[in-house]
A and B are shown apart, each in its own frame.
Chain A
Amino acid sequence: MTEAVFVPGKRKYVFCSDQEGIKLLFNVIEQVKEEGRPYEIFKIVENQDCLELGELLKKQKMGTHLYVALPYAELEKVRKTAEEIGFTEEETQYIGYGNKVKRIFCCRCHGMNETADVQADILCSQCGLELSISDHYSVFHNAFLGFVAKL
């Protein structure tokens, strides 16, 4: 997701971001203020672990909506923390910014590769097979399938 969307009718809103990311949440925060709904903002500083955030999230009650805006690379660990506590897809929005790398699963050796350019074929860093990148995505592996580029 690249843009935060205001979801009306929640009892409370929690925003979690770094200094840059807060700009991406600005509009939604304004709307929440306008509606007069309770909210909380949690600022993340670079390379911070998720312990403190986890404590805050655990205290939330059902009906809370969570917004997270962070560099793509930071997003995953926050997502993991929130999911383990019980925030589901429907109760969260994750907005990434900056460089986005895709993870590519090698069809031959199951090695995991990373690439920024999804148009170009890559060589598997583990087994050396030339891989084309498909649009078949696994949430479980957080990766796209790379398949044999040349027979």
Chain B
Amino acid sequence: MKWINNLESFPYPFKGSTYRYSNNSIPMKTPLCVEVTPDYIEEMQLKRTLLNHHAERCYQSLPHTITGQWEIVELVIDHLAAQYPDQFSVEKKGSKWTFNNKILEEKQEFTFGGESTFPEEPLAFISRHVQEDLILMMQRDGDLYLDAGQLCFPANWSLAFNLGMKFKCIHHPIPGFKEEGLDDRILQFLMRLEAGNPWERKNWSLMAGDRLDTSLETFDQWGKLRKQVTKENAGELVHIRVEVQKLFRLPRTNGILFTINTHLLSLENLVSNREWLKQFHDILSELPPHITDYKGISLYKNEVLKYLSEKLESGKVV
């Protein structure tokens, strides 16, 4: 599978010649919590298969999140209908809503805010129409908790384990995150997030293989590929994985919607852009061990560097 071939639409994540953890969030220019990319149909099929067959892995929620889930349904549907009027529409007659997904040719009538209007929870329903993973953080008693989420394409973490967890505990496994005081600062940043003023950021990692569903639950299957990386196959096998993350304050419940749109690009596609090749080579060679370890790159970092160096060299000859 080649998820992205179009370099222009790839959310290239790097600035400068070094990379460190930081709160690299910026205010969103166009407040849009979800996007529709050319891979929409293919990704929706994959997502729905995962949701149907691995419900516990991909969907979790606590009972007090239902109102917040409805806020997400409203935000997502309003954004889809406004931004992609040819693909999506919504008709609202009081609380009687009709949502029309013209790409998948599905029409859904429901009572907004009503109980048992879908066979599943509101968040589960709307997640079947968007490529993004959708996480609901509730602000309770001065802290943020992961209280509901639909997560099909995690970067090696478990939604089921992290359910009901505080923001700082979720990030406990990241080396240096606490020591550098980042957990405090980012938590404070999130707690001051305001409705109407959404933010976005990009996060990246490398992976051996091209799976979108790199869940912690299936690590024993996909993690093995890390051992097979050589400088010869790195271009095809290794992918850069970029998450475009968006943050919206939900005004009714004071919760936060966190959407994650995951993009994969093979190294051979990445390095076809000379500037990216140079910059990525600099960043990867300089990356300190605590970051390479956490991002799961350590096992094959040297092979990737050899591959990148050769590309740089061959470029010079040409």
Contact = CB atoms under 8 A, between A and B. Distances in A.
B164 A140 contact: yes
Contacts, number: 50
Given A107-B219, A110-B56, A136-B172, A151 B165 contact: no
Interface stretch (B155-163, B180-188, B266-274): B155-163
Given A107-B216, A110-B56, A148-B219, A141 B161 contact: yes
Interface string B136-169: 0000000000000000000000101111111001
A148 B223 contact: yes
Contacts of B224: 151
A145 B223 contact: no
B295 to A, nearest CB: 16
Contacts of A137: 169, 172
B227 interface: yes
B173 A136 contact: yes
A151 B226 contact: yes
Interface residues of A, number: 18
Contacts of A138: 161-162, 164-165, 169
Nearest to A140: B164
Contacts of B166: 139
B69 to A, nearest CB: 18
Interface string B52-83: 00001000000000000000000000000000
Interface string A106-149: 01111000000000000000000100001111111100010110
B223 A151 contact: yes
A145 B161 contact: yes
Contacts of A108: 217-220
B239 to A, nearest CB: 18
B158 A107 contact: yes
Given A151-B226, A151-B227, A139 B56 contact: no
Contacts of B217: 107-110
Chain A CB within 10 Å — which of B158, B172, B218 has the most? B158
Given A107-B216, A108-B217, A134 B161 contact: no
Contacts of B227: 151
Contacts of A135: 172
Nearest to A141: B161
A62 to B, nearest CB: 16
A2 to B, nearest CB: 21
Given A136-B161, A138-B161, 14 more contacts: A107-B161, A108-B219, A108-B220, A110-B161, A135-B172, A137-B172, A138-B164, A139-B164, A139-B165, A140-B164, A148-B220, A151-B224, A151-B226, A151-B227
Interface of A: 105, 107-110, 129, 134-141, 145, 147-148, 151
3 A-B pairs with least C-beta separation: A140-B164, A107-B216, A148-B220
